[in-house]
Amino acid sequence: MAPESANQKPRTRRRQSGKRKPPATASLSPDAKLLVSRKMAAEMLTISIRKVDYMIADGRLLTRKIDNRVLIPVEEIHKFARSDHPRRKAG
């Protein structure tokens, strides 16, 4: 093999499949975002996604719909977390 000269670019390997790599996603903290997914809201509140769905259905969490996505404003999550939530009495 001949040594590379100073003005040659290093060779890069192409992917075997010919597909391009997907674009990198920005990793912002949930507090830096304005809207989050149901999954992220569940993680922020340390509850299940199903519980988030119940809270949305009951009107306790407001949402925004963008196309087919249901997104929750981070401020709504903070407001919910700051308030008290007494348990219902059985009966």
pLDDT per residue as tens digits for the range 9-62: 666 666 566 677 776 666 777 667 899 999 999 999 999 999 999 999 999 999
- pLDDT value of residue 49: 96
Rounded CA separation 40/43 (Å): 5
Residue 19, pLDDT score: 77
Which pLDDT score is estimated for 26? 64
d(CA 26, CA 24): 7
The pair of structure tokens assigned to 52 is 């988030």
**What's the pLDDT score for residue 4?**
57
Domains and CATH numbers, the chain: 30-82 (1.10.10)
pTM of the model: 0.61
- Please tell me the distance from the alpha carbon of residue 80 to that of residue 61, in angstroms, as a whole number: 7
Contacts with 67 (C-beta within 8 Å, 6 or more apart), sequence order: none
Mean pLDDT for the stretch of residues 76-90: 83
Task: Say what the pLDDT of residue 29 is.
Answer: 72
